[in-house]
Protein backbone atom coordinates (compact mmCIF):
# COMPACT_ATOMS: atom_id res chain seq x y z
CA UNK A 1 0.00 0.00 0.00
CA UNK A 2 1.19 3.57 -0.64
CA UNK A 3 2.54 5.56 2.30
CA UNK A 4 0.21 8.54 2.02
CA UNK A 5 -3.15 8.25 3.79
CA UNK A 6 -6.09 8.22 1.48
CA UNK A 7 -9.83 7.51 1.61
CA UNK A 8 -11.48 5.57 -1.21
CA UNK A 9 -15.25 6.01 -1.35
CA UNK A 10 -18.21 4.70 -3.32
CA UNK A 11 -21.84 5.85 -3.08
CA UNK A 12 -24.79 3.84 -4.38
CA UNK A 13 -28.56 4.08 -4.46
CA UNK A 14 -30.79 1.02 -4.24
CA UNK A 15 -34.57 0.66 -4.48
CA UNK A 16 -36.93 -1.15 -2.18
CA UNK A 17 -39.29 -3.86 -3.38
CA UNK A 18 -42.72 -5.21 -2.54
CA UNK A 19 -43.50 -8.90 -2.92
CA UNK A 20 -46.54 -9.92 -4.96
CA UNK A 21 -45.87 -13.59 -4.15
CA UNK A 22 -44.57 -13.50 -0.58
CA UNK A 23 -41.47 -14.95 1.03
CA UNK A 24 -42.50 -16.22 4.46
CA UNK A 25 -40.48 -18.95 6.15
CA UNK A 26 -36.87 -20.12 6.13
CA UNK A 27 -35.45 -23.61 5.78
CA UNK A 28 -32.04 -22.32 6.97
CA UNK A 29 -31.94 -19.40 9.40
CA UNK A 30 -28.23 -18.56 9.14
CA UNK A 31 -27.88 -18.68 5.37
CA UNK A 32 -31.43 -17.24 4.97
CA UNK A 33 -32.79 -19.88 2.62
CA UNK A 34 -36.54 -19.67 2.01
CA UNK A 35 -39.19 -22.40 1.92
CA UNK A 36 -40.62 -21.08 -1.35
CA UNK A 37 -39.81 -18.91 -4.39
CA UNK A 38 -41.11 -15.33 -4.31
CA UNK A 39 -41.73 -12.55 -6.85
CA UNK A 40 -41.58 -8.80 -6.27
CA UNK A 41 -41.89 -5.50 -8.03
CA UNK A 42 -39.10 -2.99 -7.52
CA UNK A 43 -40.30 0.47 -6.54
CA UNK A 44 -39.05 3.65 -8.20
CA UNK A 45 -35.93 4.79 -6.29
CA UNK A 46 -36.94 8.39 -6.97
CA UNK A 47 -39.55 7.93 -4.22
CA UNK A 48 -38.32 5.09 -1.98
CA UNK A 49 -34.66 4.22 -1.77
CA UNK A 50 -31.55 3.77 0.31
CA UNK A 51 -28.36 5.73 -0.32
CA UNK A 52 -25.20 4.22 1.09
CA UNK A 53 -21.62 5.47 1.05
CA UNK A 54 -18.86 2.99 1.84
CA UNK A 55 -15.26 4.03 2.42
CA UNK A 56 -11.93 2.35 3.04
CA UNK A 57 -8.73 3.87 4.32
CA UNK A 58 -5.54 2.58 5.96
CA UNK A 59 -6.26 5.12 8.71
CA UNK A 60 -9.51 3.39 9.80
CA UNK A 61 -8.92 1.21 12.89
CA UNK A 62 -12.28 -0.60 12.93
CA UNK A 63 -15.40 -1.20 10.80
CA UNK A 64 -18.10 1.40 11.63
CA UNK A 65 -21.58 2.20 10.36
CA UNK A 66 -24.08 5.06 10.67
CA UNK A 67 -27.75 4.49 9.76
CA UNK A 68 -29.87 7.60 9.27
CA UNK A 69 -27.21 9.63 11.06
CA UNK A 70 -26.89 7.42 14.16
CA UNK A 71 -23.98 5.07 14.75
CA UNK A 72 -25.06 1.41 14.85
CA UNK A 73 -23.10 -1.74 15.58
CA UNK A 74 -21.83 -3.87 12.71
CA UNK A 75 -21.20 -6.82 15.02
CA UNK A 76 -24.52 -8.55 14.19
CA UNK A 77 -24.27 -11.82 12.26
CA UNK A 78 -26.11 -10.48 9.21
CA UNK A 79 -23.75 -7.53 8.70
CA UNK A 80 -20.73 -9.74 9.41
CA UNK A 81 -21.86 -12.34 6.87
CA UNK A 82 -22.25 -9.71 4.15
CA UNK A 83 -18.88 -8.10 4.95
CA UNK A 84 -17.09 -11.47 5.02
CA UNK A 85 -18.61 -12.65 1.72
CA UNK A 86 -17.77 -9.43 -0.11
CA UNK A 87 -14.23 -9.26 1.33
CA UNK A 88 -13.66 -12.80 0.06
CA UNK A 89 -14.43 -11.57 -3.48
CA UNK A 90 -12.46 -8.31 -3.32
CA UNK A 91 -9.95 -7.64 -6.10
CA UNK A 92 -6.93 -5.42 -6.58
CA UNK A 93 -7.63 -1.69 -6.76
CA UNK A 94 -5.28 0.95 -8.09
CA UNK A 95 -5.82 4.69 -8.44
CA UNK A 96 -2.49 6.29 -9.35
CA UNK A 97 -3.83 9.84 -9.13
CA UNK A 98 -4.83 9.40 -5.49
CA UNK A 99 -1.86 7.19 -4.67
CA UNK A 100 -4.12 4.22 -3.88
CA UNK A 101 -2.87 0.68 -4.36
CA UNK A 102 -4.74 -2.12 -2.62
CA UNK A 103 -3.64 -5.70 -3.29
CA UNK A 104 -6.24 -8.48 -3.11
CA UNK A 105 -4.88 -9.69 0.25
CA UNK A 106 -4.84 -6.19 1.77
CA UNK A 107 -8.66 -6.17 2.00
CA UNK A 108 -8.60 -8.57 4.96
CA UNK A 109 -6.64 -6.02 7.03
CA UNK A 110 -8.40 -2.85 5.86
CA UNK A 111 -11.44 -1.49 7.71
CA UNK A 112 -14.53 0.05 6.16
CA UNK A 113 -16.95 2.80 7.14
CA UNK A 114 -20.55 2.84 6.02
CA UNK A 115 -23.13 5.62 6.14
CA UNK A 116 -26.64 4.88 4.96
CA UNK A 117 -29.82 6.85 4.68
CA UNK A 118 -33.36 5.60 3.95
CA UNK A 119 -35.62 8.26 2.43
CA UNK A 120 -38.64 6.51 4.03
CA UNK A 121 -39.43 5.12 7.53
CA UNK A 122 -37.04 2.40 8.77
CA UNK A 123 -38.36 -0.91 10.22
CA UNK A 124 -42.00 0.03 9.61
CA UNK A 125 -42.99 -2.58 7.07
CA UNK A 126 -41.76 -0.63 4.04
CA UNK A 127 -38.86 -3.05 3.44
CA UNK A 128 -36.01 -0.82 4.64
CA UNK A 129 -33.93 -3.92 5.33
CA UNK A 130 -34.38 -4.97 1.68
CA UNK A 131 -33.13 -1.69 0.20
CA UNK A 132 -30.55 -1.33 3.01
CA UNK A 133 -28.76 -4.66 2.69
CA UNK A 134 -28.95 -4.63 -1.12
CA UNK A 135 -27.32 -1.19 -1.13
CA UNK A 136 -24.66 -2.20 1.38
CA UNK A 137 -23.63 -5.26 -0.65
CA UNK A 138 -23.81 -3.45 -4.00
CA UNK A 139 -21.72 -0.50 -2.75
CA UNK A 140 -19.12 -2.72 -1.02
CA UNK A 141 -18.81 -4.84 -4.17
CA UNK A 142 -18.04 -1.72 -6.21
CA UNK A 143 -15.62 -0.39 -3.57
CA UNK A 144 -13.72 -3.68 -3.59
CA UNK A 145 -14.00 -4.18 -7.36
CA UNK A 146 -15.68 -7.57 -6.93
CA UNK A 147 -16.41 -9.07 -10.35
CA UNK A 148 -19.68 -10.80 -9.44
CA UNK A 149 -22.84 -9.91 -11.37
CA UNK A 150 -26.00 -8.70 -9.63
CA UNK A 151 -27.47 -12.22 -9.32
CA UNK A 152 -24.33 -13.40 -7.57
CA UNK A 153 -24.39 -10.31 -5.35
CA UNK A 154 -28.06 -11.03 -4.57
CA UNK A 155 -27.01 -14.30 -2.91
CA UNK A 156 -24.84 -12.22 -0.55
CA UNK A 157 -27.51 -9.55 0.10
CA UNK A 158 -29.87 -12.45 0.91
CA UNK A 159 -27.70 -13.21 3.93
CA UNK A 160 -28.39 -9.71 5.25
CA UNK A 161 -32.17 -9.94 4.80
CA UNK A 162 -33.98 -12.40 2.55
CA UNK A 163 -36.07 -9.83 0.68
CA UNK A 164 -32.90 -7.78 0.01
CA UNK A 165 -31.81 -10.16 -2.75
CA UNK A 166 -34.74 -8.96 -4.88
CA UNK A 167 -33.60 -5.30 -4.67
CA UNK A 168 -30.54 -5.98 -6.85
CA UNK A 169 -32.75 -5.63 -9.94
CA UNK A 170 -35.40 -3.31 -11.33
CA UNK A 171 -38.78 -4.30 -12.75
CA UNK A 172 -40.19 -7.67 -11.69
CA UNK A 173 -37.82 -10.00 -9.87
CA UNK A 174 -37.95 -13.63 -8.82
CA UNK A 175 -36.05 -15.04 -5.85
CA UNK A 176 -35.37 -18.66 -6.75
CA UNK A 177 -35.36 -20.63 -3.49
CA UNK A 178 -32.67 -23.05 -4.74
CA UNK A 179 -31.85 -26.56 -3.53
CA UNK A 180 -28.17 -26.46 -2.57
CA UNK A 181 -27.40 -26.75 1.14
CA UNK A 182 -24.76 -24.00 0.93
CA UNK A 183 -27.33 -21.58 -0.57
CA UNK A 184 -25.28 -20.98 -3.73
CA UNK A 185 -28.35 -21.38 -5.98
CA UNK A 186 -30.72 -19.30 -3.82
CA UNK A 187 -30.60 -16.01 -5.70
CA UNK A 188 -32.58 -13.37 -7.53
CA UNK A 189 -33.12 -13.08 -11.27
CA UNK A 190 -34.85 -10.33 -13.22
CA UNK A 191 -38.06 -11.49 -14.90
CA UNK A 192 -38.65 -8.27 -16.87
CA UNK A 193 -37.21 -4.79 -16.53
CA UNK A 194 -39.15 -1.72 -15.38
CA UNK A 195 -40.04 -0.70 -18.94
CA UNK A 196 -41.90 -3.93 -19.68
CA UNK A 197 -45.04 -2.94 -17.74
CA UNK A 198 -44.60 0.78 -17.23
CA UNK A 199 -48.28 1.72 -17.19
CA UNK A 200 -48.64 0.34 -13.65
CA UNK A 201 -49.04 2.94 -10.90
CA UNK A 202 -48.34 2.10 -7.26
CA UNK A 203 -49.96 3.96 -4.35
CA UNK A 204 -48.85 3.19 -0.80
CA UNK A 205 -51.16 4.13 2.06
CA UNK A 206 -48.84 4.64 5.02
CA UNK A 207 -51.07 3.86 7.96
CA UNK A 208 -48.36 3.69 10.53
CA UNK A 209 -44.64 4.35 10.39
CA UNK A 210 -44.20 2.90 13.88
CA UNK A 211 -41.87 -0.04 14.32
CA UNK A 212 -43.83 -3.28 14.23
CA UNK A 213 -44.12 -5.50 17.32
CA UNK A 214 -43.16 -8.81 15.68
CA UNK A 215 -40.22 -8.61 13.27
CA UNK A 216 -40.48 -10.56 10.01
CA UNK A 217 -37.59 -12.75 11.21
CA UNK A 218 -39.30 -13.79 14.45
CA UNK A 219 -42.72 -13.99 12.86
CA UNK A 220 -41.65 -16.35 10.09
CA UNK A 221 -39.67 -18.50 12.54
CA UNK A 222 -42.83 -19.03 14.60
CA UNK A 223 -44.85 -19.74 11.43
CA UNK A 224 -42.35 -22.39 10.26
CA UNK A 225 -42.49 -24.06 13.66
CA UNK A 226 -46.26 -24.02 14.15
CA UNK A 227 -48.33 -23.31 11.02
CA UNK A 228 -49.64 -26.25 9.00
CA UNK A 229 -51.03 -23.77 6.51
CA UNK A 230 -47.47 -22.56 5.83
CA UNK A 231 -46.39 -26.13 4.93
CA UNK A 232 -49.32 -26.49 2.55
CA UNK A 233 -48.72 -23.03 1.07
CA UNK A 234 -45.00 -23.67 0.40
CA UNK A 235 -45.53 -27.14 -1.06
CA UNK A 236 -48.81 -26.90 -2.96
CA UNK A 237 -49.88 -23.29 -3.45
CA UNK A 238 -46.82 -21.15 -4.19
CA UNK A 239 -45.19 -23.32 -6.91
CA UNK A 240 -48.38 -23.06 -9.01
CA UNK A 241 -48.84 -19.37 -8.23
CA UNK A 242 -45.25 -18.57 -9.23
CA UNK A 243 -45.84 -20.06 -12.69
CA UNK A 244 -49.16 -18.22 -13.08
CA UNK A 245 -47.63 -14.95 -11.87
CA UNK A 246 -44.71 -15.23 -14.29
CA UNK A 247 -47.20 -15.72 -17.14
CA UNK A 248 -49.37 -12.81 -15.98
CA UNK A 249 -46.32 -10.50 -15.84
CA UNK A 250 -44.99 -11.67 -19.20
CA UNK A 251 -48.37 -11.08 -20.87
CA UNK A 252 -49.20 -7.93 -18.87
CA UNK A 253 -52.41 -9.70 -17.88
CA UNK A 254 -53.63 -7.38 -15.13
CA UNK A 255 -56.70 -9.48 -14.25
CA UNK A 256 -54.61 -12.54 -13.33
CA UNK A 257 -51.90 -10.38 -11.78
CA UNK A 258 -54.37 -8.65 -9.44
CA UNK A 259 -56.16 -11.85 -8.49
CA UNK A 260 -52.87 -13.62 -7.64
CA UNK A 261 -51.41 -10.62 -5.78
CA UNK A 262 -54.46 -10.13 -3.54
CA UNK A 263 -54.87 -13.87 -2.91
CA UNK A 264 -51.22 -14.25 -1.95
CA UNK A 265 -51.26 -11.29 0.43
CA UNK A 266 -54.40 -12.65 2.07
CA UNK A 267 -52.89 -16.13 2.38
CA UNK A 268 -49.71 -14.72 3.92
CA UNK A 269 -51.82 -12.99 6.60
CA UNK A 270 -53.83 -16.19 7.04
CA UNK A 271 -50.54 -18.02 7.74
CA UNK A 272 -49.73 -15.33 10.32
CA UNK A 273 -53.09 -15.99 12.01
CA UNK A 274 -52.45 -19.75 11.78
CA UNK A 275 -49.20 -19.25 13.72
CA UNK A 276 -48.98 -20.01 17.43
CA UNK A 277 -49.11 -17.51 19.06
CA UNK A 278 -51.02 -15.77 16.22
CA UNK A 279 -49.42 -12.75 14.58
CA UNK A 280 -51.71 -9.79 13.84
CA UNK A 281 -49.82 -7.49 11.53
CA UNK A 282 -52.93 -5.39 10.99
CA UNK A 283 -54.03 -5.51 14.60
CA UNK A 284 -54.44 -1.99 15.99
CA UNK A 285 -55.40 -0.45 12.66
CA UNK A 286 -57.45 -3.32 11.22
CA UNK A 287 -60.55 -1.25 10.43
CA UNK A 288 -58.46 0.81 7.99
CA UNK A 289 -57.16 -2.24 6.12
CA UNK A 290 -60.67 -3.73 5.99
CA UNK A 291 -61.90 -0.43 4.55
CA UNK A 292 -59.12 -0.31 1.92
CA UNK A 293 -59.56 -3.99 0.96
CA UNK A 294 -63.33 -3.70 0.74
CA UNK A 295 -63.09 -0.45 -1.28
CA UNK A 296 -60.79 -2.18 -3.82
CA UNK A 297 -62.81 -5.43 -3.91
CA UNK A 298 -66.12 -3.56 -4.43
CA UNK A 299 -64.68 -1.37 -7.15
CA UNK A 300 -63.04 -4.30 -8.97
CA UNK A 301 -66.31 -6.21 -8.74
CA UNK A 302 -68.42 -3.30 -10.03
CA UNK A 303 -66.08 -2.81 -13.02
CA UNK A 304 -66.27 -6.53 -13.84
CA UNK A 305 -62.50 -6.61 -14.32
CA UNK A 306 -59.80 -5.75 -11.73
CA UNK A 307 -58.57 -2.15 -11.72
CA UNK A 308 -56.37 -2.38 -8.66
CA UNK A 309 -54.45 -5.03 -6.69
CA UNK A 310 -53.66 -4.72 -2.97
CA UNK A 311 -50.90 -6.29 -0.96
CA UNK A 312 -49.82 -5.94 2.69
CA UNK A 313 -46.43 -6.93 4.12
CA UNK A 314 -45.57 -7.50 7.76
CA UNK A 315 -47.26 -4.26 8.80
CA UNK A 316 -50.46 -2.30 8.31
CA UNK A 317 -49.42 -0.23 5.25
CA UNK A 318 -51.39 -0.97 2.09
CA UNK A 319 -49.62 -1.19 -1.26
CA UNK A 320 -52.09 -0.65 -4.10
CA UNK A 321 -51.10 -1.41 -7.68
CA UNK A 322 -53.31 0.25 -10.30
CA UNK A 323 -53.64 -1.10 -13.84
CA UNK A 324 -52.87 2.26 -15.47
CA UNK A 325 -53.02 6.02 -14.93
CA UNK A 326 -56.77 6.17 -15.47
CA UNK A 327 -57.34 3.58 -12.74
CA UNK A 328 -54.79 5.33 -10.49
CA UNK A 329 -56.57 8.67 -10.94
CA UNK A 330 -59.87 7.13 -9.91
CA UNK A 331 -58.17 5.27 -7.06
CA UNK A 332 -56.63 8.41 -5.54
CA UNK A 333 -60.04 10.13 -5.72
CA UNK A 334 -61.69 7.22 -3.88
CA UNK A 335 -58.87 6.99 -1.33
CA UNK A 336 -58.92 10.73 -0.61
CA UNK A 337 -62.69 10.64 -0.21
CA UNK A 338 -62.48 7.76 2.29
CA UNK A 339 -59.28 8.95 4.02
CA UNK A 340 -59.11 12.76 3.77
CA UNK A 341 -56.24 14.60 5.44
CA UNK A 342 -56.97 16.26 8.77
CA UNK A 343 -58.20 19.85 8.34
CA UNK A 344 -54.87 21.52 9.14
CA UNK A 345 -52.83 19.16 6.91
CA UNK A 346 -50.94 20.31 3.84
CA UNK A 347 -52.03 18.28 0.78
CA UNK A 348 -48.45 18.55 -0.50
CA UNK A 349 -47.22 16.51 2.45
CA UNK A 350 -50.25 14.19 2.47
CA UNK A 351 -49.69 12.89 -1.07
CA UNK A 352 -46.00 12.56 -1.85
CA UNK A 353 -43.96 11.01 -4.66
CA UNK A 354 -45.36 11.38 -8.17
CA UNK A 355 -47.83 14.22 -7.64
CA UNK A 356 -48.89 14.25 -11.30
CA UNK A 357 -51.55 11.65 -10.38
CA UNK A 358 -53.19 14.29 -8.15
CA UNK A 359 -53.12 16.76 -11.01
CA UNK A 360 -54.73 14.23 -13.36
CA UNK A 361 -57.40 13.68 -10.71
CA UNK A 362 -58.12 17.45 -10.71
CA UNK A 363 -57.07 17.80 -7.07
CA UNK A 364 -55.04 20.90 -6.25
CA UNK A 365 -55.99 21.72 -2.68
CA UNK A 366 -58.04 20.59 0.32
CA UNK A 367 -61.20 22.17 -1.14
CA UNK A 368 -60.95 19.78 -4.11
CA UNK A 369 -60.68 16.86 -1.67
CA UNK A 370 -63.77 18.07 0.23
CA UNK A 371 -65.70 18.30 -3.06
CA UNK A 372 -64.95 14.68 -4.06
CA UNK A 373 -68.07 12.55 -4.57
CA UNK A 374 -68.45 9.31 -2.58
CA UNK A 375 -67.36 6.18 -4.53
CA UNK A 376 -70.67 5.01 -6.08
CA UNK A 377 -69.93 1.31 -5.49
CA UNK A 378 -69.64 1.79 -1.72
CA UNK A 379 -72.96 2.17 0.10
CA UNK A 380 -72.90 4.89 2.81
CA UNK A 381 -69.21 5.60 2.22
CA UNK A 382 -67.80 7.26 5.35
CA UNK A 383 -64.93 9.73 5.52
CA UNK A 384 -62.32 8.90 8.19
CA UNK A 385 -59.98 11.81 8.74
CA UNK A 386 -56.51 11.07 10.09
CA UNK A 387 -56.68 7.28 9.55
CA UNK A 388 -53.91 7.38 6.93
CA UNK A 389 -50.65 9.23 7.73
CA UNK A 390 -49.84 9.89 4.06
CA UNK A 391 -49.90 8.40 0.57
CA UNK A 392 -46.85 7.71 -1.63
CA UNK A 393 -47.50 7.64 -5.40
CA UNK A 394 -44.87 5.71 -7.28
CA UNK A 395 -44.29 3.15 -10.04
CA UNK A 396 -42.12 0.14 -10.92
CA UNK A 397 -38.50 1.30 -10.93
CA UNK A 398 -34.96 0.45 -11.83
CA UNK A 399 -32.30 -1.44 -9.90
CA UNK A 400 -29.18 -0.19 -8.05
CA UNK A 401 -27.10 2.69 -9.39
CA UNK A 402 -23.69 4.09 -8.59
CA UNK A 403 -23.81 7.80 -7.75
CA UNK A 404 -20.71 9.43 -9.19
CA UNK A 405 -21.56 12.96 -7.96
CA UNK A 406 -19.30 13.26 -4.91
CA UNK A 407 -21.54 15.88 -3.31
CA UNK A 408 -24.09 13.08 -2.73
CA UNK A 409 -21.66 11.05 -0.59
CA UNK A 410 -22.71 10.64 3.04
CA UNK A 411 -19.12 10.44 4.31
CA UNK A 412 -16.56 13.22 4.27
CA UNK A 413 -13.96 12.53 1.53
CA UNK A 414 -11.03 13.44 3.81
CA UNK A 415 -12.04 12.29 7.28
CA UNK A 416 -14.32 9.39 6.32
CA UNK A 417 -16.77 10.57 8.99
CA UNK A 418 -20.48 11.33 8.38
CA UNK A 419 -21.03 14.73 6.80
Ligand X SMILES: Nc1ncnc2c1ncn2[C@@H]1O[C@H](COP(=O)(O)OP(=O)(O)OP(=O)(O)O)[C@@H](O)[C@H]1O
Ligand Y SMILES: C[C@@](O)(CCOP(=O)(O)OP(=O)(O)O)CC(=O)O
Q: What are phi and psi of 307, to 5 degrees?
A: -105, -30
The DSSP line for 198-220 is TT-EEEEEE---SPPSS-HHHHH
**Closest CB to ligand Y among residues 217, 259:** 217
Q: Which does 19 bind (CB under 5 to 8 A by kind): ligand Y, ligand X, none?
A: ligand Y
Bridge partners, residue 95, by sequence: 100
- Under the binding rule (CB under 6 A), the answer on residue 317 touching ligand X is no
Tally of helices (H runs) and strands (E runs) in the chain:
12, 19
CB of 347 to ligand Y, least distance (A): 30
Of the ranges 118-126, 178-186, 325-333, 410-418, which one interacts with ligand X (CB under 6 A)?
118-126
Residue with nearest beta carbon to ligand Y: 162
Question: Shortest distance, CB of residue 212 to ligand X, whole angstroms?
Answer: 7
357's contact among ligand X, ligand Y, none, with CB below 5 to 8 A by partner kind, is none
308 and 326 Cβ atoms separated by less than 8 Å? no
Rounded Cα distance between 35 and 77, Å, is 21
Interface pick for ligand X out of 48, 90, 127, 220 (rule CB under 6 A)? 127
Give 16's contacts (C-beta < 8 A, 6+ positions apart): 42, 43, 48, 49, 50, 120, 126, 127, 128, 130, 131, 167
DSSP code for 194: T
Residue list 82-111, contact with ligand Y (CB under 6 A)? none
Stretch in the footprint of ligand Y (CB under 6 A) among 16-24, 57-65, 338-346, 349-357: 16-24
Query: Least distance (Å) from ligand X to the CB of residue 382?
Result: 29
Q: Which of 398, 414, 385, 417 is nearest to 12 (CA)?
A: 398
Burial of residue 68 (number of CB atoms within 10 Å: 0-12, 13-18, 19+): middle
Residues 137-156 that bind ligand X (CB under 6 A): none
Is the distance from CB of 72 to CB of 270 less than 8 angstroms? no
Are the C-beta atoms of residues 314 and 125 closer than 8 Å to each other? yes
Quote the CA–CA distance of 289 and 317 in Å, as a whole number: 8
Can residue 227 be called a binding residue for ligand Y (CB under 6 A)?
A: no
Q: Residue 122 binds which entry of ligand Y, ligand X, none, with Cβ cut-offs from 5 to 8 Å by kind?
A: ligand X
Q: Which is nearer to ligand X, 162 or 306 (CB)?
A: 162
Q: What kind and span of H or E run contains 191?
A: strand 187-192
Return the one option of ligand Y, ligand X, none that residue 123 interacts with (CB less than 5 to 8 A, by type).
Answer: ligand X
Residue closer to ligand Y (CB basis): 28 or 365: 28
Site for ligand Y in 136-165 (CB under 6 A): 161-163
With contacts defined by CB under 6 A, name the span among 1-9, 22-30, 356-364, 370-378 that binds ligand Y.
22-30
Considering only the stretches 41-49, 116-124, 144-152, 186-194, report the one whose residues sit in contact with ligand X under the rule CB under 6 A: 116-124
Q: Distance from first CA to last CA of the chain, Å, rounded?
A: 27
Give, in degrees to the nearest 5, the angle at Cα 87 between 74 and 408: 65
Of the candidates 188, 314, 327, 361, which one interacts with ligand Y according to CB under 6 A? 314
Options 33, 124, 320, 366; binder of ligand X; rule CB under 6 A: 124
By CB under 6 A, the count of residues binding ligand X is 22
Judged by CB under 6 A, the residue of 132, 306, 341, 375 near ligand X is 132
What's the min distance (Å) between Cβ of 243 and ligand Y?
A: 17
Q: Tell me: does residue 122 bind ligand Y (CB under 6 A).
A: no
Q: What is the CA radius of gyration of the chain?
A: 22
Q: For the CB of residue 46, give the shortest distance to ligand Y in the complex, in Å.
A: 21
Q: Does 122 bind ligand X (CB under 6 A)?
A: yes
Helices assigned H by DSSP within 251-304: 254-273, 286-303
198-227: contacts with ligand X (CB under 6 A): 215-216
CA quadruple 37, 42, 43, 45: dihedral positive or negative? positive
Q: What is the contact surface with ligand X in residues (CB under 6 A)?
A: 50, 67, 116, 118, 122-130, 132-133, 136, 163, 215-216, 313-315
Q: What is the contact surface with ligand Y in residues (CB under 6 A)?
A: 19, 22-24, 32, 38, 129, 161-163, 216-217, 313-314
Amino acid sequence: MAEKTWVRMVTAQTPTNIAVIKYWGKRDETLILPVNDSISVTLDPAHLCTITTVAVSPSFDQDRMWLNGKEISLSGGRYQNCLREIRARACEVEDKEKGIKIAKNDWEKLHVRVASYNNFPTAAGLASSAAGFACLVFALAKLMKAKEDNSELSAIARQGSGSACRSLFGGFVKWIMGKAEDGSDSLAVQLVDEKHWDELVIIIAVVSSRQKETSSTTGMRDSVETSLLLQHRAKEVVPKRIKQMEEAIKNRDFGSFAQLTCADSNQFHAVCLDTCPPIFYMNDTSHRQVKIISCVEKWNCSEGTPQVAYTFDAGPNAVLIAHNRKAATQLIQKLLFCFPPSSDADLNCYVIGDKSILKDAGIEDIKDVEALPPPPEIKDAQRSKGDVSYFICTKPGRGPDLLSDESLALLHPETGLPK
